Amino acid sequence: MKKRIASLLLITFSALLLAACGSSGSIVLPKEGYAQGAAGDTMRTYFFDFTLNEAYTYSKYEGYIPTPGYDLLAVEVTVKNTFQEGITMFDWDFIVLYDDNAGEEQIYDYPITSYEDLEIPEAARETLLPSEYALEKGESLTGLLLFEVPAGDTEFTVSYLESFEDDTTGDTFSVDIAATRR
């Protein structure tokens, strides 16, 4: 009987330990102003939920060629408005973070649709989230965020920082992703 109880306790402890490590598909809430998740987790912000479904790197995407020395990171994101009214979203709500070449500091950048001077082919624009879009209460939208990132890199963090109309900020939500080469 003691062996059976010890086995049950070990199994329960192992299950709790695995759950604490964070499994894909979890709902992640902020603690002390910060939330950290992985691809597949649903990040619950003040205004909306978002999930980074998958990520790929490309040498070119639908006719768009990045700056020399860079690849394109395409991140599929699903955003669902959970606020009590409609909200306006912007592509620059999300940033990508990656290490510099020396690994000494993190660099961030916005999706390419944030830069008005870039000529993005129409075929690429059709699959990307627009630079601005509205979501009614309860409405969801899935699309791609496209970033220029250092060629050959595959490990990234995509972040969102809550911003309020009174110019204050809230919680930060970061999702670590590993991109597959396409």
pLDDT (0 to 100) of residue 66: 96
The pTM assigned to this predicted structure is: 0.83
User: Are residues 89 and 50 in contact, defined by beta-carbon separation less than 8 angstroms?
Assistant: no
As a whole number of angstroms, the distance between CA 158 and CA 9 comes to 37
User: Are residues 92 and 110 in contact, defined by beta-carbon separation less than 8 angstroms?
Assistant: yes
* Topology (CATH) of 24-181: Immunoglobulin-like (2.60.40)
The average pLDDT across 22-39 equals 86
pLDDT (0 to 100) of residue 25: 81
pLDDT (0 to 100) of residue 98: 93
- Which residues are CB-neighbours of 111 under 8 A, at least 6 positions away? 91, 92, 94, 128, 129, 145, 146, 147
Helix (H) or strand (E) holding 6: helix 2-20
What is the tens place of the pLDDT at every residue in 32-66? 999 999 999 999 999 999 999 999 999 999 999 99
Q: How far is CA 151 from CA 41, 101, 174, in A?
A: 26, 10, 22
Confidence bin at 9 (pLDDT 50/70/90): very low
The domain limits of the chain are 24-181
